[in-house]
Amino acid sequence: MNFPLEFRFKILALASQIYVRDAGGTLVGYVRQKMFKLKEDVVVYGDAEQTRPLYRIRADRIIDIAAEYAITEAASGAPLGSVKRRGLRSFWRAHYEIRSAGGASYVVREESVWTRFFDSLLGEIPLLGILTGYLFHPAYRVTREGSGEAVMRIVKQPAFLEGRFRAEALGAMADAEQELLVLSGLMMLLLERQRG
């Protein structure tokens, strides 16, 4: 993948729509999340017209704080790995665990809980909420479990009437590793957006 990647979604949209573009501006993924789903089932497409399904992300249970999301290739159903919110630990600070199909493990942690707290709090105030996109920028760091080596960082970017996040590679990663971490980051952003 051509890092950095940019995740963009409209704040005022009823159904979450995320466009993922690489450093050259090429669309590498598109998601339109279905509304009112009790059990998450997200399809990542290679185009905005939704004609080329690439990946599928499915929850293992109905609405649950500790649900695990299996990530598979859309065509073959081959597993790539999974991402799981770390239950009660994620109430105060976002904490996710990523497992690859090959057994590699990663941890995603929010860097500053206060940044997200103020972003969420002020985001609920009419008129002032529009400006929080310029004031607060939550960041998430992905590290290899065990070694603690940082491999990717996702940071909210200044934006008006849309959500923008930038994913930067911090270390060398194999293609399959990049694929899994980007898809896990995408699912994490969808879940964190629902939390505020």
Q: Global pTM?
A: 0.87
- CB–CB of 98/85 below 8 Å? no
Per-residue pLDDT reduced to its tens digit, 95-142: 899 999 999 999 999 988 776 666 666 666 766 666 665 667 789 999
pLDDT of residue 130: 62
pLDDT of residue 147: 92
Residue in 148, 142, 93, 89 with CA at minimum distance from that of residue 115: 93
Distances (CA, A) of 30 to 42, 70, 180: 10, 18, 16
In the chain, where the domains are located: 5-195
pLDDT of residue 56: 97
Q: Which residue ranges in the chain fall short of pLDDT 70?
A: 11-14, 36, 63, 87-92, 115-124, 126-135, 194-196
CATH tag for 5-195 (out of 3.40.50, 1.10.3470, 2.60.40, 2.40.160): 2.40.160
pLDDT of residue 129: 61
pLDDT of residue 96: 93
